[in-house]
Amino acid sequence: MNNAHKLSAMEAVKKIKQGQLTAESLMRSCVEQVSERDDMVKAWAHIDPEQAIDRARTADKRGNKGPLAGIPVAVKDIIDTADMPTRHGSTIYEFNQPTIDAAVVSKTRAMGGVIMGKTVTTEFAWRNPGATCNPHNLNHTPGGSSSGSAAGVADYQFPLAFGTQTGGSVIRPAAYCGVVGFKPTFGTYDRDGVKELSSYLDTVGIMARSVQDAAFFDTVLRGNSLTNSPILDNTSLRIGAFVPFRDSAEQCALLALDASVRMAEKAGATVVDIESSKNFEILADIHNVIMTGDAGRALAWEYDHQHEQLTQFYTENIALGRAVSDELLEQAKNDANRARLEQTGTLFEHVDVLLTLSAPGEAPKGTSLTGDPLFNKVWTMLGLPCVTIPVQKGPSGLPLAIQIVAPMNKDSLALAASAWFEKAVSQGD
């Protein structure tokens, strides 16, 4: 089938199940897209096209069992794969070959997905970007740390991908690349086999080109039997428009949010403004203490044994993290635990979900930095489910997105509200 790589995940599964498409022909189409675009987008840390095609062919021979039915899935290169290297974006791990799959990889294979390859991550999913460029404009960052996953989904190289988020590493790159990113409630997907940066913050997330596909993949990973798109009841959705750190947002992002509010109201939602506060915004400082302190401990081996291969950023910041006392780190986590209870009760007292920014604006020019995670890090620390949805293009022609945030463990609501909003945006075009 021509252009099979442009099918949504659910469309591809349907065609495969109906015998109108094979997993091999889908994989070949994706591989052809990679061969045409990878020299420019550079989304891959590792891909063996023949291996990927062979795995898809094997899936066909087995009858494409499981809900994923042999479709390609890309994996961020801090997530272990038993048949592919896992380099964590670092020369330290250039020859690292895990012997077992990470839990989410094993689950994906068990559900019929074909692991296509490993996508570029910033080093240790923290700073130091890889080579990936934004597919909408190669002179701009794709965001990070899940750079390759976001860029590859946006560039139609694969329909589904894994990322991880410790600050803003799923939502921000997805927003910059114009795809849907879903960071579930903290602890939803098993992190076994994922390189640790912060045990308190690290969250495995997913990326797709639509909310429907993201919800489908989420359902599969949870082991649920239902794979339908989430649908809200006919009751009016109550949305809280909430913009902390407003002074750090670009005007184009604020205008896109205002336009989104109008579209939501036109589609029948009730939207109320929620004022930000210093008590909320100071949580970003608590996140910084936790992330730095935890990272100093998680990367202690690299600091002690591979010091000469670390960039100055890592030597300085790992040392800074190691200097955070156990007592200070424990206090920061206690403060964060308290905030998880208090903020959820306050922010969602009169609304179902929050509508906020996914990123400060369009993807910044240049690829030496990945953008500011300020609009993500507090939600990560609070452990709340978040979805980013592309809504329009900015003044430079790059995607602008909004973010839906729901209460803890209300992931289905986050996805349902996002699906509702995605439909409202498409009708407003």
> Catalytic site residues?
76, 145, 169
SS3 label, residue 353: strand
* H or E element that contains 14: helix 9-17
Write the CA distances from 93 to 90, 98, 122, 130, 242, integer angstroms.
Answer: 6, 11, 13, 14, 41
Per the CB < 8 A criterion, the answer to whether 128 and 54 are in contact is no
The first and second tokens of residue 102, run together, are 């990470």
Q: For residue 345, report the phi and psi dihedrals to the nearest 5 degrees.
A: -65, -40
What is the DSSP secondary-structure string of 210-260? SHHHHHHHHHHHHT-S--SPP---SSPPEEEEE-TTGGGS-HHHHHHHHHH
Contact between 389 and 180 under an 8 Å Cβ cutoff? The reply is yes
Residue 139: φ, ψ to 5°: -90, 5
Q: Give the number of other CB atoms < 10 A from CB of residue 406.
A: 25
SS3 call for 84: strand
CB burial of residue 248 (10 Å; 0-12, 13-18, 19+): middle
What is the three-class DSSP state of 68?
Answer: coil
Measured CA to CA in angstroms, residue 18 lies from 22, 23, 69, 259, 295 at distances of 10, 12, 11, 40, 47
Provide the angle, in degrees to the nearest 10, between the axes of the packed helices 103-110 and 211-222.
100
Please count the other Cβ atoms lying within 10 Å of the Cβ belonging to residue 268.
12
Query: Do the Cβ atoms of 406 and 230 come closer than 8 Å?
Result: no
